[in-house]
Amino acid sequence: MRSGQWYDCLTPAYESLRAAARAACHAHGTLPPEARGSMAPELRSLFAEVGAGVFIEAPFHCSYGVNVSLGPGVYLNAGCTLLDSAMITIGGGTMCGPGVQIYTADHHRDAARRAQGIERGLPVVIGRNVWIGGGAIVLPGVTIGEGAIIGAGSVVTRDVESGARVAGNPERAIGGSASQ
């Protein structure tokens, strides 16, 4: 799964990992906020890495969880979805608005192979102090540089440079740098 090679995502081993992630996401979403804290313990233990001060609003969904690394102070607003067939690395201080979706699964182009569950995972790397506006979608294999701003509703199809501001579908540069 993490190798970037094509694999069969419908095997019992992958289904077991997805079931554990669904259970952890359910635990997170059904605990009262005061009992949940920044995230349900089941969710925290699922992730590859969780920095100090990470906060995830409910509802939240991930495919596996084991391929998610969250730096210190990451904030994921309500309704975020991380489809982590490959690593999703989110740098410290990054904020994701409500309904942000980050995808790593890339399904086979051949319909018959796709129906057999053949896919590959392409990692997504998001630098430190990035702001991703609500409803944005980040596609497989994308890297977003430190301090970038992604406009609400954008579809990020390619790498974004550090400090850049992008918006639209597909994303395109908009006036000025993120530091302005």
**H or E element in which residue 102 lies:** strand 101-103
Count the neighbouring beta carbons within 10 Å of the beta carbon of residue 149: 22
Q: What are the start-end ranges of the H helices in the chain?
A: 12-30, 33-36, 41-46, 111-115
- Residue 107 annotated as catalytic: yes
The one-letter amino acid code at 169 reads N
Per the residue annotation, which of 26, 28, 61, 107 is the catalytic one? 107
* Gap between the terminal Cα atoms of the chain: 40
Count CA atoms within 13 Å of residue 17 on its CB side: 17
Cis peptide, bond prior to residue 59, ω within 30 of zero:
yes
Amino acid at 29: G
- Residues marked active site are found at 107
